[in-house]
Every structure is written in structure tokens, then in C-alpha cells.
Structure 1
């Protein structure tokens, strides 16, 4: 199946204590490159996430971001620091023995005492984080792959359309390429008649035309091009990563069409060659984004 290398996926895992969100963005790249933005203390989870993605995706530059939002009721754990409170009480009693002070303390007074109340942020167990990350990552990866496959179908359609147009250009080249030999023969006869009256003129012309025909023969290049197009269709139906293979086929097709253009100089063929190059460049642009 043809898959693009661009896409986006988002996965969410919600528990009683927190909500974990994973987002994956993907663009085209020659190889598989995964960048992640995880908290430093989540190194083990980050490595597991990269390994999990590398088993699902073959090529592309992937950016993974993760965000954890704690539920309000579980975000903080409030503790009374009794040793500190008792120390403040002792200090107050000492002050009261010398100066008049109010006996009652308000809650505001207590909260104003440094370190009297401890606020501890809830810690999520590592195993719970692993499971939550794996679940959210699976959901995000599934969305990412679905988007890549959807765009891949469009790319496949474009490539097959371009291939059909190229086949039409090859028909034109096959039709008009023999005319180059005939035009050369006529031109050669006129030229030879101007410079010689030899009785062996016909034989000399035939020999020269034969050499010219062999020199500009493009039948092998045309056959190889049609073979490449056949491989293109077969490759588009494969279930593995095909981007690099398609890129190689495009290079070979362009090499063959360049050879055809350099060998055959007829006007009709030259026009078809230019059109073929344009189509191949469009195909290469599309192929650059296939996994």
C-alpha cells in the first residue's frame, strides 16, 4: 500500500488522576528520524515510545510531543508540618513571656508561617505512565498512519495518471523516430549529388544511412522505459516501503529519456521528449513524499 510521509495523529489517555496527550507530526525525510519532547525524567518511556513508532513507520521525520494535565483534586497533597508549627508555638510562648500577644492564631496567620504547610505535587507511578503513554501513542500512531495512507492513495492516483500520459508520449516517439532516418537519407543524397557523380553513390549512401540509423536507434531505450513503467505499477501495489525503489525508477526513466533526446533530433520526438521530462519531474516530486 502506498503511504505518504506527511501526517498528524493525536491520542489521549484519561484516568482519575490525570489526562495524558500524545501528538505526532510527520514530514518527508530520506530515512526514519524521530524527535521527541518528553520530560527529562521520562527517559525510559521516551525510548519505549521511539521503539514502538519505529516498528510502525519506515521513513519520515517524526516529532512527538507529550503533555500531562493533572486533575485538580489529585494535583496537590497538603501536609501540616507539625515540627515547624510546634517550633513556632514555642517561639511565641517565649515572646509572650515578655510582651503582650494575642492568644488565638487565625488560619491566615498559620499559612503565613514559612514551611508550616507543605504542598506536595502528586507523583504518577512510572508503570501507570508507561501504560498511559503506550495507549495514547497507539491512538496517535493509528491516526497518523490513516492520514498517510489516505494521502498515499492520492499520490498513487497521480502517479498512474502521469504514467499513462508518459506512455502516450512514448507512442509519439516510436511513431516519428523513423522519420529522422528518412530525413537524413534525403538530405545526404542531396549533399552527395552536389559533391560527386560517382556510380557507387547509392551504395555509399546506404552504408552511411545504415550507420546513422544505428547511431540514433532508440528502440532499446524505449523498451527499457516501458519495462520501468511496468515495474512502477507493480511497485505501487506492494505492501512494503516503496519510496526509495520508486525514486530509483524515476532516476532510470529520466536517464533513458535524456538518452532518447540526445539521439533523436526530429521535431516531433523533441517535443515529446520535453513533455516526457516534465511529466517525470512531476512524478519525482510526488515520489519524494512516499514512504
Structure 2
């Protein structure tokens, strides 16, 4: 199945104490490159995430972002930040020595002091985090793969249409290329009539035309192109990473087209060669995004 290298996947693990969200974005890349944005103390979990993703994706540049949200209900203890409260009290007393402030402290005033109250939350073990990460990341990876497969099917349809367009141009090249030999023969006859005895024309023309026909013969290149087109269709149905193979096929097709262009002497076929190159370039651009 054809897979694009562009996609997005999201996975969530929710418990009574926290919600772990993982998002994975991918773009095209020659190899598999995984970049993570995890807390530095999550090194073990980061290694687990990269290993798990490599089981789902073969090529592409992946950015992995994780967000851990602790539920307020999971608070296990509340502590007063006495050093901060004492510092605030001393500052207020110093201010009262200068200004006539006699208002008493209110609970609202105390609670409004930033970090005056310390909420101790339940600690999540590394093993629990690893399990939560595996669940969320698996969900995200599956969603990512599904999106890449949907995009891949669209790419396959585009490539098959381009292949049909390319085959039409190759048909025109095959149709018009023999005209070059006929035109060369006619031109040669007219030229030789001017300078050679007519009794010798036929024999010399046959030899010259035979040499020319061999030099401009593109039948082998056309046959190899037909073979490449067949391989392209078969490759699009393979259930593996096919991007590199398709890119190689495009290089081979372009090489054959360039050889045809250098041999071709027909103006009609030349136009078809230019069109074929244009189509091949569009195909190569699409293939750059296939896994």
C-alpha cells in the first residue's frame, strides 16, 4: 500500500490523576528521523517512544510532542509556604512603620500571595508513565499511519494518471520516430542526384540510410520504458516502503527519455519528448513524498 510521508496523529491516556496527550507530525525525509520534546528527566520514556514509532514508520521526519496534565482532584496534601509568608509579614510590618496601615490580614489576602499555598500532588511512577506513554503513542501512531495511507492512495491515483499521460507521449514518439529515416532518405536522394551518377545512387543510399537508421534507432529505449511502466504499476501495489524504488524507476525513465531525445531527429517526436520530460518531473515531485 502506498503511504505518504506527511501526516498527523494524536493519542490520549486518561486516568483519575492525569491526562497524557501525545501528538506526532511527519513530513518527507530520506530516512527515519524522530525528534521529541520531552522533559529531560524522561530519557527512558523518550527511548521507548522512538523505538515504538520505528515499528510503525520506515521513512520520514517525525516531531513528537507530549503534554502531561495533572488533575486538580489528585492533590494529596496542602502545605503553607511559611518562609514566604514570614517574608511577606516582615515586609508589611516595615511598611506599617512608615505608613499608618492598621488593617488586619485576611485569608483572602494570604491566599492571593503567589506560591503561598503549596499543593503536593500524587507522584506518578516511571513505570506508570511508560505504560501511559505506550498506550497514547500507539494510538497516535495508528492515527498517523491511517492518515499517511489515505494521502498515499491519493498519490497513487495521481501517479497512475501521470503514467497514462506519459504512455501517450511514448506512443507518439514511437509513431513519429520512423518518419525521420524516411525524411533522411528523401533528402539524401535529392542531394546525391546532384553530385553522383544515377546508376550508383540506389546502392550508396541504402548503405547510408542503413547507417543512419541504426544510429537513430530508439526501439530498445522505448521497450525499456514500457518495462519501467509495468514495474511502476506493480510497485504501487507492493505492501512495503516503495519510495526509493519508485525514485530509482523515475531516474531510469528519465535516462531513457534523454537518450531518445539525443537520438531523435523528428520534430514531431521532439515535442513529445519534451512533454514526457515534463510529466516525469511532476511524477518525481510526487514520489518525493512517498514512504
Instruction: Flag whether TM exceeds 0.5 (same fold).
Output: yes
> Aligned equivalents of 2:154 and 2:116: distance in 1?
64
Residue 251 (str. 1) matches residue 224 (str. 2): no
1:281 corresponds to which residue?
281
Residue deviations 1:271-290, cap 9 Å, x none?
Answer: 11111111111110110000
Does the 8 Å CA contact 2:29/2:60 hold for their aligned counterparts?
yes
What secondary structure sits across from 1:200 in the alignment?
helix
- The structure-2 alpha-carbon separation of the partners of 1:196 and 1:73, relative to structure 1 and needing over 3 Å to count, comes to same
Does the 8 Å CA contact 2:75/2:119 hold for their aligned counterparts?
no
Residue ranges of structure 1 left out of the alignment (5+ in a row): 83-104
1:211 corresponds to which residue?
211
Residue 227 (str. 1) matches residue 227 (str. 2): yes
Deviation at 1:194, TM superposition (A): 1.9
- The structure-2 alpha-carbon separation of the partners of 1:234 and 1:111, relative to structure 1 and needing over 3 Å to count, comes to closer
Residue deviations 1:22-51, cap 9 Å, x none?
Answer: 000000000000000000000000000000
> Aligned equivalents of 1:187 and 1:241: distance in 2?
53
Q: How many residues align?
A: 273
Moved over 3 A (4+): 79-82, 105-112, 115-122
2:173 corresponds to which residue?
173
What secondary structure sits across from 2:4 in the alignment?
coil
> Aligned equivalents of 2:258 and 2:160: distance in 1?
21
1:147 corresponds to which residue?
147
Structure 1 segment 71-110 matched on structure 2, within 5 A: 71-75=71-75, 77-79=77-79
Residue ranges of structure 2 left out of the alignment (5+ in a row): 83-104
> Aligned equivalents of 1:123 and 1:180: distance in 2?
82
Deviation at 1:197, TM superposition (A): 2.2
> Aligned equivalents of 1:116 and 1:198: distance in 2?
115
> Aligned equivalents of 2:280 and 2:176: distance in 1?
21
> Aligned equivalents of 2:111 and 2:278: distance in 1?
75
What secondary structure sits across from 2:29 in the alignment?
coil
> Aligned equivalents of 1:218 and 1:46: distance in 2?
56
